[in-house]
Amino acid sequence: MVTNTAVKSMPGLTALDRLEIQELNARHFYALDGLNLLLPGDPAEHWADTFTPDGTFEIHNANGDKLLSFSGREQLIGAQRQFPDIAATRHWIGELLIESHLEGAKSASYIIAMNISINPATIIRCGTYYDILTKIHESWKFKSKILTLDQFSPSAE
């Protein structure tokens, strides 16, 4: 007996929701890296636009200690503008997993950040992201985005 093995949308999330969350992640990292070719204007504002008005971005080390925390649009804009390695960094995420959540959706992904100002490029951070997302005015936004650096990530010390 042959069964249908087609992938189905998870309960509560449509295929369109999943695509919009993938697009949100692309916009988030494109703006985080300070790129404005496809999104003219201020990358810091574009980055903050990927969050809810009270959204939070945090970085934790491998044992869970909070290293950085920014909440709300103004702090997020200021944070992106003050990150020291914006022009020299490219972020790559992989294995984006999206699930339903009480607030809308949750997602997780692996992250590798590369220093592209040297040849060959080198890894400067690696870890995992855990996100809570919600829909505001028909658009998905990050309510919280937490980067947990891997134990031996170059920036984990």
DSSP assignment of 17-68 equals HHHHHHHHHHHHHHHHTT--SSS-S-HHHHHHTTEEEEEEEEEE-TTS-EEE
pLDDT tier, 5 (very low <50, low <70, confident <90, very high otherwise): very low
Q: How many domains does the chain have?
A: 1
For the segment 20-26, the average pLDDT, to the nearest whole number, is 97
**Is 83 inside a domain boundary?**
yes
In-domain check, residue 154: no
Query: Is residue 6 pLDDT above 80, yes or no?
Result: no
- 156 in a domain, yes or no? no
Binned at pLDDT 50, 70 and 90, residue 83 comes out as confident
| Residue 82 structural domain | 15-149
Higher pLDDT, 154 or 64: 64
Does 6 reside within a domain?
A: no
Residue 132 covered by a domain: yes
CATH of the domain at 129: 3.10.450.50
pLDDT tens digits for range 87-124: 899 999 999 999 999 999 999 999 999 999 999 999 99
pLDDT of residue 1: 46
> Could you give the count of Cα atoms lying within 13 Å of 31 in the half-sphere of its Cβ?
24
Q: What pTM, to 2 d.p., does this model score?
A: 0.87
